[in-house]
A and B are shown apart, each in its own frame.
Chain A
Amino acid sequence: MELIVNLVINGLATGMLIFLLAAGLTLIFGLMDVLNFAHGGLFVWGAYAGIFTYMYTESFLIGIIGALVAGAILGLLTEKFIITPVYGNHIQQILITLGLMLVLQEMIKVVFGPNGVSVKTPSYLAGSWEFGDVIIIKYRLFIIVVGFVIFGIFQYMLKRTKIGLIVRAGVQDKEMAQALGIHIKQVFLYVFMVGATLAALSGMLMAPYSGVIYAEMGMEYAILGFIVVVIGGMGSFSGSLLAAILVGLAGSFMAYYVPVLSLAVNMILMAIVLIFRPQGLFTIGKERST
């Protein structure tokens, strides 16, 4: 039983980090119909900006704020200068955002150096609680709590506020939203910035979790993010949470019970979902205008 609890906590923590990354991706795809392969670049820049701020100020909280600011600024610049010219063209989006991903990755090496940076968990989040044989690592619990809080905030915003209504309406029918007086391009920009900020937050929180940050980590985790978006359903926020938890738990259990399959389990999960439910676990009522 203790083992199961430990594996569940590990899986949930990993799942929540992937959720934060995938949530931005799914919002950006769902509303803007943009395939953003540079999302991993925003993730890694969030990690570096946040961790260097943390190291400089010795405050983890200020580090998180640094990551959020970096994500928002990069999101703003990416949407304005990279995404805007390629709206509506998926091939161009893939090419240009993949290119941007590589640029962002290499820029990390230029700005912060080519070697990985080891990261310490802040003292108040380090260590663990032990309840019999159950060991709860504080930082993992912290990630799970942050993940659920972010999910709760976004669910509240999407379901209960006018801004959320506008975003949900825009996801379903952009033309109609505009015809009702909604400045959808501005909404796009804000959503992209929020998505980038979530990616940056995910990168920042991932850093103490994995203990080291390096330029290539963006690409590695972005693939997990895409898998989660496909499993959860393109554009579905709740779907991303469920899929991220599934991926996290599957990874955690497989790594313990069938280590040889631990790397393949995400792909297997995605393949199963694509075979039996190609639209993903959750779908949104997207109506394209003709």
Chain B
Amino acid sequence: MMNTLLKLHDVHTHIGQYHILQGVNFEAMEGQVSVLLGRNGAGKTTTLKTIMGLTPASQGDVQFQMQSIKKSPTHKVAKLGIGYVPENQGIFSDLTVEENMKVAMRKEDTAAMERQQYVLELFPDLKKFWKKAGGHLSGGQKQMLSMARAFINDSQLILIDEPSKGLAPIVVEKVMEAIVEMKKQTSIVLVEQNFMMASRIGDTYTLIDDGKTVHSGNMKELIQNEELKRKYLGIG
């Protein structure tokens, strides 16, 4: 029986005067890739930011490992064991690849070094460009660095926002392989527009439309449900 790692219950989020999330319900299970799907502007990125405390929820609750993190500041959420790979990758462009990794590493112990070794094997390009400034990396390399950085700490859950965005198909393939590999050691919440990618690596899905959860279930069921895909994702 899998445990619920993350639970969002009737989450509402306001950004300025805008009511962005208007009732998001979502669960991420341990050891799975849980995918958030929806059209552009549906509220997927805001959902991840709300989990991280970057755009705190104004109503409802966010629980991680059965504890409410709704009011926790972002740095505490991260320290609880949630890694974050934002849509824009969030690379510190003036810092080298090495420095980007080092700044993310909260404890420089043997375990962290082993994880670093592991991600460098997963993303050999990072080793190649170890001393290169983050700003000089290609889009794919930035994505890999961002994922590696989120993985460097002993995170129980990693939130990944649109990892395939703007990348060449061959790079998307590499990113997908990396997520599958990372899944062996951590749980993942994935926001992805590329349904082909999402359906290949996702275990469960949650559909968000206009800031509300409209459907959720097993990914295999969604793959076969043409009506849902047409109605909420505009495909099929």
Residue of A nearest to B159 (CB): A179
| Distance between Cα atoms of A179 and B79 in the complex (Å) | 9
| Distance between Cα atoms of A131 and B148 in the complex (Å) | 59
- CB pair B73–A178 under 8 Å, yes or no, is yes
- CB pair A180–B103 under 8 Å, yes or no, is yes
Interface membership of B153, Cβ < 8 A? yes
| Distance between Cα atoms of A165 and B95 in the complex (Å) | 8
- CB pair A176–B92 under 8 Å, yes or no, is yes
Encode A165-200 as 1/0 by CB contact (under 8 A) with B: 110110011011111111110000000000000000
* Of A166, A175, A180, A183, the contact of B54 (CB 8 Å cutoff): A175
Task: Choose among B52, B78, B90, B103 the residue with the greatest number of A CB atoms under 10 Å from its CB.
Answer: B103
Encode B92-117 as 1/0 by CB contact (under 8 A) with A: 11110001101110100000000000
- CB pair A285–B86 under 8 Å, yes or no, is no
Interface membership of B88, Cβ < 8 A? yes
- CB pair B78–A181 under 8 Å, yes or no, is yes
| Distance between Cα atoms of A162 and B108 in the complex (Å) | 11
Q: How large is the interface on B (under 10, 10 to 19, 20 to 34, 35 or more residues)?
A: 20 to 34
For residue A238, give the distance in angstroms from its CB to the closest CB of chain B.
Answer: 12
Q: Which residues of A contact B (CB under 8 A)?
A: 162, 165-166, 168-169, 172-173, 175-184, 284-285, 287, 289-290
- CB pair A172–B88 under 8 Å, yes or no, is no
Sorted nearest first, the 5 A-B pairs with minimum C-beta distance are: A176-B90, A285-B93, A181-B78, A178-B74, A285-B94
- CB pair A178–B78 under 8 Å, yes or no, is yes
User: Assuming A165-B102, A289-B86, is B78 touching A179 (CB within 8 A)?
Assistant: yes
User: Assuming A165-B103, A175-B54, A289-B86, is B92 touching A182 (CB within 8 A)?
Assistant: no
Interface membership of B84, Cβ < 8 A? yes
* Of B73, B90, B102, B106, the contact of A173 (CB 8 Å cutoff): B90
Encode B129-153 as 1/0 by CB contact (under 8 A) with A: 0000101000000000000010001
| Residues of A contacting B: mostly | helix
Interface membership of B75, Cβ < 8 A? yes
| Distance between Cα atoms of A285 and B95 in the complex (Å) | 9
- CB pair A178–B75 under 8 Å, yes or no, is yes
| Distance between Cα atoms of A168 and B91 in the complex (Å) | 12
Q: Which residues of B contact A (CB under 8 A)?
A: 52, 54, 73-75, 78-79, 84, 86, 88, 90, 92-95, 99-100, 102-104, 106, 133, 135, 149, 153
For residue B135, give the distance in angstroms from its CB to the closest CB of chain A.
Answer: 5
Residue of B nearest to A178 (CB): B74
Residues of B within 8 A of A162 (CB): 102-103
Task: Choose among B73, B74, B100, B106 the residue with the greatest number of A CB atoms under 10 Å from its CB.
Answer: B74
User: Assuming A173-B90, A289-B90, A290-B88, is B54 touching A181 (CB within 8 A)?
Assistant: no
* Of B86, B99, B133, the contact of A176 (CB 8 Å cutoff): B86
| Distance between Cα atoms of A165 and B103 in the complex (Å) | 6
* Of A165, A175, A284, A285, the contact of B99 (CB 8 Å cutoff): A165
For residue A155, give the distance in angstroms from its CB to the closest CB of chain B.
Answer: 14
* Of A179, A182, A287, the contact of B93 (CB 8 Å cutoff): A287
For residue B22, give the distance in angstroms from its CB to the closest CB of chain A.
Answer: 21
| Distance between Cα atoms of A69 and B90 in the complex (Å) | 37
* Of B54, B94, B102, B133, the contact of A179 (CB 8 Å cutoff): B54
For residue A165, give the distance in angstroms from its CB to the closest CB of chain B.
Answer: 5
Residues of A within 8 A of B100 (CB): 169
